[in-house]
Structure 1
Amino acid sequence: MEQTELSRLYVEYKSLLFSLAYKMTGSVADAEDVIQDVFIKLNGYEVKHKRNIKAFLCKMVTNQCLDLLKSSRNKRELYVGTWLPEPMVFIEKDPLQEMMVKSDVSYALLVLFEQLNPIERAIFILREVLEYDYETIAEIVQKKEVNCRKILSRLKKMLPELEKQMTIEQVKTDREQVITRFIRAIQQGNTLQLMEVLQGDVVYYADGGGKVTAAAKPIYGATRVNQLLIALATKFFINQEKYSIMQVEVNGSTGVVIRNEGKVITVISFEFERNKIKSIFCIINPDKLSFCHTLA
């Protein structure tokens, strides 16, 4: 393929392909590697006359992601503590980065993707997120159209939370206010105010990856989560000049970052139910926060 044609395809489709790869892998670094590998391979193909170059590129990216997920299965099984997807954080508004990422699914939905096998994940993303027709999906994942329909139907019955996360109405202003109260309670060590924003059955997940200290297993229940958060807040905010906490956009929704002397050390994302916090996803593995630093 000619370099000019390759460059044109890269500019035109990079944002779509990156969005697909990120949702498949849950990793910014892996998504970038997938895109790079696909365009290296594409350099050896003659695709000028392909009927649907967009579907062809999505097929290449999907296959690359499927191979990556299969090869990383053992790494996930040996991972220390809870594995959470890498967050996409915009500390400062960057239209170019936002266009590239297209964060059109919540962080909670990315977490749910971890319950799917690679093929299930691909079919769900291609159909429910990217809205491809079944004929195209069947071509991309190399399965019969009827099988793709059956797989998606089974997923919706088995994990109704997937569909709920896709259709849930985002009341962004209300949720920003909840997070503002959450931050204020953390900063002040206000146990009562913190309890007001937590669901009774709230779950706290932390991903330290064995690199930093984190809860090895999820913490369940408002009382236990409250106690943990207040204890962590006491640690973080004894020295107000050293640590800071602020609202940011995490995967298209309002989240929180904590910095130590300007460096992002924690990203917190939330799942809501009736404008209370149902799940807290705390990412503190430094390997998953490198992308945040480039936007700081």
Structure 2
Amino acid sequence: MKGEREGMGLEKDQAEVKEPGKGQSEMEELYLSYKGYAFSIAYRLLGVVADAEDAVQDSFMELQRRGLGGIENLKAYLAKSITNRCLNQLQSARSRRETYIGEWLPEPLIEAYDSPEAAAERNDTLSYAFLVLLERFTPVERAVFVLREVFEYDYESIADMVDKSAAACRQIFSRASRNFKAAFSAEQGGAAAGPSRTVLLKRFTAAFEAYDVGAMLELLAEQPVLIADGGGQEVHTILRPMAGQRGVLALLTSHRVLRELRSWQSEIVRINGEPNLLFRQDGEVAGMLCLEFTGDKIQQLYLIVEPDKLRTFG
């Protein structure tokens, strides 16, 4: 999971930022240079694009007010500012999600949001399955795990960001890492080699649209899980996760359930760094389906039809 080290480490500080261009202030230059990095932290911590954008904007506004005096490492300063805002947001979000109708899934991220600096994030720390698993952590566990596992901050730096001791952060990371790897291994099954995602997505789409039980059965793993997020906004979907080959197969080949999905136009696009399925109704984005594979078998299916979470796909 540590494939995006270059361009993300502490060794790159404000000394590397280019001189402000003509007609462009120093703060504008810093914003353009570091907003991708700041967003990549905020999005992993929050799982909501708009909230991540707000955290980035607020952090830079605070930086503009206080000035750059006394800041030795701008990346570390921004990471702390972003982390503090995200922790506050996550604490309040937990109570709101308790009353959420159905299952809450993270907001998907489209290709257009990838900055040049974030282009290296084509690994499982940006995948949709990674974000879903992060939802199992407490806010502090999530922050410590992301800052250490993805961005490789040392424990002393993380301790300063989350207001814990370095020893406590080490313990939190160790526990979170064990839990994450156990869940990731159980749900992904080791990611054995197999056909390309695009080929498998095309096979799935053909089987889904044709109600082909045999073809769908060949694609499903022994214990697949289907989770749908409609948010209760007049969008009819599955309120509870469905686990097991028999139940998931029945849903995917039913002539009543998910019938509306088949009437929409599907296309394969890059979502969270990987090819996934996007659905349009009369040209407007109406749904997203992210499939996670183990070799050539579907292990996880994440369906999002909640309108607010699809607004960035317009």
2:251 equivalent to 1:228: yes
What is the aligned-residue identity percentage?
A: 37
Q: Which position in structure 2 is the counterpart of 1:99?
A: 116
Indicate if the aligned counterparts of 2:193 and 2:295 stay in contact, CA closer than 8 A: no
- Quote the residue 2:215 is aligned against: 193
Q: TM-score, normalised by structure 2?
A: 0.83
The 3-state SS of whatever aligns with 2:72 is coil
Query: C-alpha separation between the residues in 2 aligned to 1:185 and 1:114?
Result: 31
Are 1:181 and 2:203 counterparts? Answer: yes
1: CA distance, partners of 2:194 / 2:271: 13
- For residues 268 and 99 of structure 1, do their structure 2 counterparts lie closer, same or farther at Cα, with a shift above 3 Å needed? farther
**Cα distance 1:273–1:170, how it changes in 2: closer, same or farther (>3 A)?**
closer
CA distance, structure 1, for counterparts of residue 194 and residue 56 of structure 2: 32
Change (3 A) 1:72 1:257: same
Deviation per residue, 1:231-276 (Å, 9 max, x gap) = 3464443x5xxx2111111111121011111111110112222331
**Structure 1 segment 131-210 matched on structure 2, within 5 A:** 131-161=152-182, 164=185, 174-210=196-232
Matches within 5 A, 1:1-296: 4-90=25-111, 94=112, 97-99=114-116, 102=119, 103=121, 104=123, 105-161=126-182, 164=185, 174-211=196-233, 212-231=235-254, 232=257, 234-237=259-262, 243-293=264-314
Contact 2:195 2:296 in 1 (8 A): no
Aligned length: 284
Q: Which amino acid aligns with 2:209?
A: Q
**Counterparts of 1:188 and 1:207, CA distance in 2:** 24
What is the SS of the residue equivalent to 1:153? helix
Q: Secondary structure at the match of 1:85?
A: coil
Bigger Cα displacement from structure 2, 103-112 vs 191-200: 103-112
TM-score, with length taken from structure 1: 0.88
Aligned partners of 1:276, 1:167: CA distance in 2, in Å? 10
Q: CA deviation at 1:167?
A: 11
Distance 1:98 1:11 in 2: 10
Structure richer in helix, relative to its length: 1
- Alpha-carbon RMSD across the aligned residues, in angstroms, is 2.4
Residue-by-residue CA offset, 1:199-225 (whole Å, 9 max, x unaligned) = 121110000011111111001122221
CA pair 168-208 structure 1, distance change in 2 beyond 3 A: same
The answer for unaligned runs of 5 or more in structure 2 is 1-19
Q: Take 1:100 and 1:28, find their aligned partners in 2: how far apart are those partners?
A: 17
Give yes or no for contact 2:103–2:240 (8 Å, CA) kept in 1.
yes
Paired residue type of 1:174: S
Q: CA deviation at 1:36?
A: 1.3
Q: Which amino acid aligns with 2:145?
A: F
Which whole-Å deviations, capped at 9, do the CAs of 1:109-148 have from their partners, x for residues lacking one? 1001111111110111111111222222222222221111
Alignment gaps of 5+ in structure 1: none
Q: 1:273 to 1:172 in 2, by over 3 A?
A: closer
